[in-house]
Copies of this chain bind each other. A is one copy, B any other.
């Protein structure tokens, strides 16, 4: 079927804008009813979802896609349970909309405050996980936004089946079906249109690899909530409790390798480098973590008798690499100032941690390090929406504008000023 993508996308945008007006003023109960109805739909239509997913996975197998992608693509009883549980969690979160703060009387006699309101229409561009369709739609719905969803082409049939459940749920709750639109095309041009329609789209959230996000950021004329790479650092001070330091450094690297809040570079004060590495390095090596060491740490580590494949010298590129793998770069520094200088030069401004028992140094590190999350004496792995108490997240922003760090319901809203007068005029 021939489809004029530009015309199609304008239509999607127009419908989203109209639906946004309605959903922006829907009450909390009505939005929760829709979320519950969507959960019921998913639960009752499991066979349909699994059948649609089967088409996608068979196509993916024929296309020779790798097992990691097949794994992310899979929709089975367990992933459907997960989606339903996610919906119930979002039902239980407080509705951010309508909150009025900072209401005060001004000398002129007017009362001025701020009311939290939805952004309007949120575009989400993501890859092959079909559960993102539910996560993103439900966060946007709860925060009163209309959504346009563009998932990966590998998950096309799964996403259409999920969209059908969402639409039934919206109808059950008497909300406009256009409040959540899943694109019916996987044409790349649709993305280009989506990110250049500021009249219809208020913000786009790209979820995926660095290439996708950089492409979208550079082409977009609408605002982008960016989730770029996580080159996260842990600095262990000479005044650290070395037991805590070892536990944190091990957890930050090895709890999960493929996540953006994993540590990629360990910075060690020269006074504690030898004792800490002596206890820590064997733990890394036991887990098969390759250590890429600076001159000084290489000397210490070599003396520990490692497997040759798990130790090498770091080169300049290592300090700027997000491994997302069992690889860690290690650098010895003279003092905290040098550690902070290294972070300033090489961090992607996602998450950095300090391990130190020194009160003033911790305070200075927290104040001066310019990253979305700055952590004292805990693992970088805590930097996520659930751990921070947001309930769920649509992404982790490495930007400073609008939303920073884990972005939950509040990040999907804005505030407008409201003024109460009684015939006041300006003199």
A120 within 8 A of B: yes
Which of A202, A375, A425 has the largest count of B CB atoms less than 10 A from its CB? A425
A377 CA / B419 CA spacing, docked (Å):
8
Q: Which of B104, B381, B389, B421 contacts A376 (CB 8 A)?
A: B421
The answer to whether B423 and A373 have CB atoms under 8 Å apart is: no
The answer to whether A375 and B416 have CB atoms under 8 Å apart is: no
Q: Which residues of B contact A138 (CB under 8 A)?
A: none
* Min C-beta distance of A57 to chain B, whole Å: 31
Q: Which residues of B contact A78 (CB under 8 A)?
A: none
* Min C-beta distance of A16 to chain B, whole Å: 14
The answer to whether B387 and A423 have CB atoms under 8 Å apart is: no
The answer to whether A248 and B425 have CB atoms under 8 Å apart is: yes
Which chain A residues (302-356) contact chain B, with CB distance < 8 Å?
A: 344
The answer to whether B416 and A372 have CB atoms under 8 Å apart is: yes
Q: Which residues of B contact A252 (CB under 8 A)?
A: 425
The answer to whether A119 and B400 have CB atoms under 8 Å apart is: yes
Q: Which of B223, B244, B372, B423 contacts A241 (CB 8 A)?
A: B423
Q: Which of B241, B377, B389, B422 contacts A104 (CB 8 A)?
A: B389
Q: Which residues of B contact A379 (CB under 8 A)?
A: 421, 424-426
The answer to whether B374 and A417 have CB atoms under 8 Å apart is: yes
A187 within 8 A of B: no
Given A106-B387, A417-B406; A401-B243 close (CB under 8 Å): no
Q: Which residues of B contact A420 (CB under 8 A)?
A: 376-378
Chain B residue with Cβ nearest A202: B400
The answer to whether A112 and B389 have CB atoms under 8 Å apart is: yes
Given A383-B417, A401-B401; A115-B378 close (CB under 8 Å): no
The answer to whether B255 and A373 have CB atoms under 8 Å apart is: no
Q: Which residues of B contact A387 (CB under 8 A)?
A: 106, 108, 110, 112, 426
Q: Which residues of B contact A104 (CB under 8 A)?
A: 389
Q: Which of B106, B255, B378, B416 contacts A371 (CB 8 A)?
A: B416
A370 within 8 A of B: yes
Which chain A residues (356-382) contact chain B, with CB distance < 8 Å?
A: 366-368, 370-379, 381-382
Which 4 A-B residue pairs are closest in the complex by CB-CB distance? A378-B421, A244-B423, A251-B425, A381-B426
- Return 24 A-B CB contacts under 8 Å, by A number: A117-B370, A202-B400, A203-B401, A223-B399, A244-B422, A248-B423, A366-B418, A373-B416, A374-B419, A376-B418, A376-B419, A377-B420, A378-B419, A381-B426, A382-B419, A382-B426, A383-B417, A387-B426, A401-B414, A402-B402, A404-B416, A404-B417, A405-B416, A405-B417
| Besides the known contacts A21-B344, A203-B401, A377-B420, 6 further A-B residue pairs in the complex with CB atoms under 8 A apart | A24-B368, A251-B425, A377-B422, A378-B424, A382-B421, A388-B417
A residues contacting B by CB (< 8 A) are 21, 24-25, 98, 104, 106, 108, 110, 112, 115, 117, 119-120, 202-203, 217-218, 221, 223, 241, 243-244, 247-248, 250-252, 255, 344, 366-368, 370-379, 381-383, 387-389, 399-402, 404-406, 414-426
